[in-house]
Amino acid sequence: MDYFVHQLLFGYAVLANRRAASLFAAMPQQNQDPTHVLWHQYADKPYDDALFREICSGALFQKTDYKSSSARSPLPGSFADHLLRPRRRRLFLFAAFDPQGVISETALYYLKALKPYGDIRFVSDNPLPEAEKAKLQGLVCSLEAEHHGEYDFGSYKRAFKDAPLQDYDVVYLLNDSVIGPIGDLGYWFGELERSGADAFGLAWHPSRRHAHLQSWFIGLAPSVFRSEWFRSFLEGVAPAGSKEEICEVYETGFCKLLLFHNCSIHSPFSLKGKSIYDAPLRLVRESFPFIKKASFKRHEGNMGAQLSRVMPLLPASLVSAVEADFARLEGEGYLKWLLRRNPFLMAGRYLRYLKKKI
């Protein structure tokens, strides 16, 4: 069927039937051009309230679309952004850690991408020199940097403390264990928040024993973040013996608590097993907006073949951030070695991984 099937059928009716033709001729005609001005001329331009009102006064309604990049990933601050995004006041509780005590380039990239969408309270589980703290000036509304040994939930606890919750409609728990975002985050904020769920996140882990939202990207409605039980949960976070224990007690424990309090949960991605680490190429192709940093160290470098296909799909500035971080942490040649697609090198990596696995 033709896209303009409705108009074609109407046109044939007018041409083939005298009565239809006479009725059509008697109809007052209205120029369609003013209904296309807002979207087709101004969708990607910076929003201006006076201009918006002027354009809208020229027509009863305005024609938009839902397939273009302007609709799927509106530029922050644009006319499309104003039209499509819910006006939600967001607070991001951002947990960070770096073994060398710096602000990583990938974390900085992430924070800059978050900034247009809300306020950021940043907590690092390691001290930061003043020069590093200066990198966050203008990006975050609060900063705390000291070793506490309570992993990400300990950082969330500190960022949450004394936050003016009455000023916000959504609170997010985020950390720097990922590389991204790949593309515009606004699309995902809209998708998650429009679900109407009490808690939502990018990745749901459908484990038989402990199904849960992965805690590196969770959003919370006021029904959760303003509740006494949630405050008590965060205040109860304490040092744990291992990262696995943290995941068991706090990540899966939090989801159990959500279900206990009859909270609804939503996630657009259900990621079985270790696919968040082992399937970065598939996830990026499915528009998943992040890659776990652990993928770059996983399986004795056996993820290199996939990652070599992922890297060209990333924005150039994000690639530069990834290169800078791995050169600093793993040495100048690490990323080049990892991403080489030499079949003998790849076979050697796999055999080393297999030997270790056995």
Q: Examine the fold and report which residue of 214, 237, 270 is the final residue of a domain before the chain moves on.
A: 270
Q: Is the pLDDT of residue 309 over 90?
A: yes
Q: Crossing angle of helices 151-160/228-235, nearest 10°? A: 130
* Lowest mean per-residue pLDDT among 93-97, 118-122, 207-211, 232-236: 207-211
Give the list of residues 6+ apart from residue 289 with CB closer than 8 angstroms, or none: 180, 181, 182, 183, 185, 188, 202
Mean pLDDT of the chain: 91
Say yes or no: 297 and 260 in one domain. no
pLDDT at 246 (0 to 100): 78
51 half-sphere exposure, CB direction, 13 A CA radius: 13
Quick check: 174 pLDDT over 90? yes
* Percentage above 90 pLDDT, the chain: 69
Last residue of a domain, one of 84, 118, 144: 84
Over range 93-97, report the average pLDDT.
Answer: 97
Closest residue by Cα to residue 283 from 294, 293, 271, 296: 271
95 plus 226 within the same structural domain: yes
Task: Name the residue range of residue 43's domain.
Answer: 5-84
pLDDT tens digits along 264-290: 999 999 999 889 999 999 999 999 999
If asked whether residues 75 and 219 sit together in one domain, one would say no
Q: Determine the Cα angle at 147 with ends 143 and 153, to 5°.
A: 75
pLDDT tens, residue by residue, 11-35: 999 999 999 999 999 999 888 899 9
Amino acid making up residue 105: E
> Rounded to whole angstroms, how far apart are CA atoms 327 and 336?
10
Look at residue 304 in the predicted model and tell me its pLDDT: 87
Q: What is the pLDDT of residues 30-56, one digit of tens each?
A: 888 999 999 999 999 998 888 998 998
Residue 187 is predicted with a pLDDT of 82
pLDDT at 254 over 80: yes
Say yes or no to pLDDT of 301 above 70.
yes
* Co-location of 111 and 155 in the same domain: yes
**Would you state the pLDDT for residue 171?**
98
Give the rounded percent of residues in the chain with a pLDDT score beyond 70: 98
pLDDT at 185 over 70: yes
Answer with the one of 270, 301, 320 that is the final residue of a domain: 270
Can you tell me the distance from the alpha carbon of 88 to that of 263, in angstroms, rounded to the nearest whole number?
20
**Residue 141 DSSP SS3:** coil
Any idea what the CATH number is for the domain that residue 256 is in? 3.90.550.10
Judge if 102 and 218 occupy the same domain: yes
- The answer on 280 and 214 residing in a single domain is no
341 or 117, greater pLDDT: 117
pLDDT over 90 (residue 76): no
Task: Give the pLDDT band of residue 86 (cuts 50, 70, 90).
Answer: low
Confidence of residue 302 (pLDDT cuts 50, 70, 90): confident
Query: How far apart, in Å, are the Cα atoms of 213 and each of 99, 254, 258?
Result: 26, 9, 10
Number of domains in the chain: 3
Mention every residue, 6+ apart, whose C-beta is less than 8 A from residue 220. 170, 171, 172, 173, 198, 199, 230
Per the CB < 8 A criterion, the answer to whether 320 and 272 are in contact is no
Same domain, 287 and 259: no
- Tell me the β-bridge partners of 220: 171, 199
Mean pLDDT, residues 71-81 = 85
Same domain, 151 and 55: no
Buried/exposed code over 318-338 (b: 16+ C-beta within 10 A; e: otherwise): beebbbbbbeebeeeebbeeb
- Residues 344 and 265 placed together within one structural domain of the fold: no
Same domain membership, residue 257 and residue 170: yes
Looking at the fold, whether 252 and 293 belong to one and the same domain comes out as no
Give how far the C-alpha of residue 82 lies from the chain's centroid of Cα atoms, to the nearest Å: 19
The mean pLDDT value for 242-267 works out to 89
pLDDT of 158 > 70? The answer is yes
Q: 187-245 pLDDT, tens per residue?
A: 899 889 988 999 999 999 997 778 899 999 999 999 999 999 999 999 999 987 777 77
Task: State the CB neighbour count (10 A cutoff) for residue 214.
Answer: 21
Residues across the chain: 358
Residues 324 and 351 in one domain: yes
pTM listed for this prediction: 0.77
